[in-house]
Chain A
Amino acid sequence: EPEVTQTPSHQVTQMGQEVILRCVPISNHLYFYWYRQILGQKVEFLVSFYNNEISEKSEIFDDQFSVERPDGSNFTLKIRSTKLEDSAMYFCATRTSGRRDTDTQYFGPGTRLTVL
């Protein structure tokens, strides 16, 4: 069964450093998402991406964050200058271009980001 993959599985970085989290979507999927889950808290929406542009973003997704699909396959989340509070599990999700109320978002296994 096709699945969403994410790399790395765990990233440790120093505060103020840039990190790039990578996701390989399921091949025929056209909508891409990033979510995060801070330890002990809910899964929170960050951003959705379609047709090479952001379609929706949350208040969490400030200027420190950016997304792109640089090579038509990987979907990346960049955090320019990491803060301690960015430590979380980051999940990529993807879906086909079908109706959003019947189409499922499939999640990757997540990247655990630890900011020291």
Chain B
Amino acid sequence: DQQVKQNSPSLSVQEGRISILNCDYTNSMFDYFLWYKKYPAEGPTFLISISSIKDKNEDGRFTVFLNKSAKHLSLHIVPSQPGDSAVYFCAAGYGNKLVFGAGTILRVKS
């Protein structure tokens, strides 16, 4: 199932800089999108979401951008902090379920 793809398995960023995590999807039926953060041995923790009728949503240091024509969304974290180091999952929703990407490991170096 390749409906949601996160093509970068890992990303390394210096503390204070911007982290940009990317996600592509193929199914036009998806009408909402979410980003989750996950630490080992824990469940996914919700970060931010966006409806398909919007192109941007911001919450503190986190901003999600949606480009529907390109079927692409991205998560920007500014400024990045060492505590942001985790696996980040993009998820897309339609009906009553979420379809997850494979995740991107973010390492923020201090």
Contacts and interface: CB of A to CB of B under 8 A. Distances in A.
Nearest to A46: B97
Contacts of A106: 46
Interface of B: 1, 31-32, 34, 36, 41-46, 49, 51-52, 89, 91, 93, 95-103
Nearest to B100: A43
A53 to B, nearest CB: 12
A56 B97 CA distance: 8
A100 B96 contact: yes
A58 B42 contact: no
Closest 3 CB pairs of A and B: A107-B43, A101-B32, A48-B96
Nearest to A108: B43
Interface residues of A, number: 27
A44 B100 contact: yes
Interface string A85-116: 00000010100000011101111111000000
Contact of B34 (A50, A104, A108): A104
Contacts of B93: 100-101
A33 B93 CA distance: 13
A55 B98 CA distance: 13
